[in-house]
Structure 1
Amino acid sequence: MATIPATQPFLAGEKVTASKLTAATKTPIDFLMNPPRCSVAYKSSDIASDMIATSTATLIPFGTEGWDTDSMHSTAVNPSRVVFNTPGLYEISIFARFKVNATGYRQMNLRLNSAGDPGLGSTLTTFAQAAGPTTSTSISRTFDLLITNAGDYVELFVTQSSGASLGLDSGERVTGIMARWVGTNNTA
């Protein structure tokens, strides 16, 4: 868990020392320049036969990381989870690209603390759109999420209704989750 630096005010007439100046400026700036954040991506070998069954919510595991500054993801243990070790406000981006098929809809559902089950935990956002007629269908959503408890996590489920199994495209910024700490959990 990253430590969010406390602000260090100066009092009128107080002598400026190197340690006080560092605490008041350098430490918070260093934290803000490299906040808790991660980027995880699906790779085609993450799901057996790389297929999402029709009309079935499927949990997406993430086999690769672009970056992870706060141990938010593991490719070995619960690879579907992005865990928030540092409470605060996060900017979340989720995205999925389904292979070409013009039938039905494509959907993403991001859930909080769902233990790998699309019926557990809490839905944070659900987004669906019609399939593209001649190209792969990309869907995405970006939003802010307030995390108040260290250890809370999100998981991404996808659903498609083409009438047959359908693959996902893989790779960084193709199918995955990005999360970046943007502020404290003060709501005032």
Structure 2
Amino acid sequence: MIYKNGVLVSVATAVGVGARVYNDSPFTVANNVYDTVEFNTESWDTDNCHDNVTNNDRLTCRTAGKYLLIAQIRWVGNATGYREMSIRVANGASTPRAYTQKSDLNANNCAQNLATIVDMAVNEYARVYVKQTSGGNLDIEGGKRYAPDFMMMKIG
């Protein structure tokens, strides 16, 4: 709500604009290669931000504004190398907006989470990028409602 001199002059209408998506099966990532995570299932999508088949690694802005982006993944257990995850926003060139790297690994599963707030224009899109250096292919767990998971929500 926006007040001017103590009088309500505007009510934000951004509530409910966004999407939350996940992948319902494991996703394999090759060794030492940046890859985007694909999301084939929608929990909800109020603004046609996601397509389950075409460019399903993207959440696309359909209403310009400030967005909260949240991503989480969970790698299967492997004690070798490191794991990276980033959220990038693009309309042509890709710009990292949040990044995490985990290198103190053990044989247990490795979860990574990111959140960032970004200004997005219509048709800009966000993606989750991952990289791992285990020495071979490594899976990101799928089939769980919490991972891999990607969300965008308009907050302003």
TM-score range, shorter chain: 0.7 to 0.9
- Give the TM-score taking structure 1 as reference length: 0.72
- Are the aligned partners of 1:36 and 1:69 in contact in 2 as well (CA < 8 Å)? yes
Shift of 1:173: 2.0
2:141 is aligned, of 169, 173, 177, to: 169
Tell me what 2:105 maps to.
132
- Aligned 1:1-188 pairs, distance under 5 A: 28=11, 31=13, 34-44=15-25, 50-113=27-90, 120-130=93-103, 132-147=105-120, 149-170=121-142, 171-183=144-156
More helix by share: 1
More strand by share: 2
Q: State the one-letter code of the partner of 1:178.
A: M
Quick one: distance in 1 between partners of 2:80 and 2:42?
32
Instruction: Output the CA distance in 1 between the equivalents of 2:19 and 2:28.
Output: 25
Quote the offset at 1:96 in angstroms: 1.1
CA contact (8 A) 1:131 1:137 kept: no
Structure 1 segments (4+ residues) deviating >3 Å: none
Alpha-carbon deviation of 1:131?
5.1
Which of these two proteins has the greater Rg computed from alpha carbons?
Answer: 1
How many residues matched? 153
- The AA in structure 2 aligned to 1:39 is R
User: What amino acid sits opposite 2:103 in the alignment?
Assistant: A
- 1:97 positional shift: 0.6
TM-superposed deviation, 1:176: 2.2
- In the alignment, structure 2 segments of 5+ residues that lack a partner are none
- Tell which has more relative contact order, 1 or 2 (C-alpha 8 A, sep 6+): 2
Q: Cα distance, 1:114 vs. partner?
A: 6.4
Q: Which amino acid aligns with 1:40?
A: V
Gaps spanning 5+ residues in structure 1: where? 1-6, 13-23, 184-188
SS of residue in 2 equivalent to 1:76: coil
Q: Structure 1, residues 51-76: CA drift from partner, whole Å, max 9, x if none?
A: 21111111211101111111110102
Structure 2 counterpart of 1:167, one-letter code: D
RMSD: 2.6
Whether the 8 Å CA contact 2:21–2:43 is kept in 1: the answer is yes
Task: Kindly indicate whether the alpha-carbon contact (under 8 Å) linking 2:86 and 2:114 is maintained by their aligned counterparts in 1.
Answer: no
Equivalent residue letter for 1:132: L
Tell me the secondary structure at the aligned position of residue 71 of structure 2. Answer: strand
Distance 1:180 1:67 in 2: 11
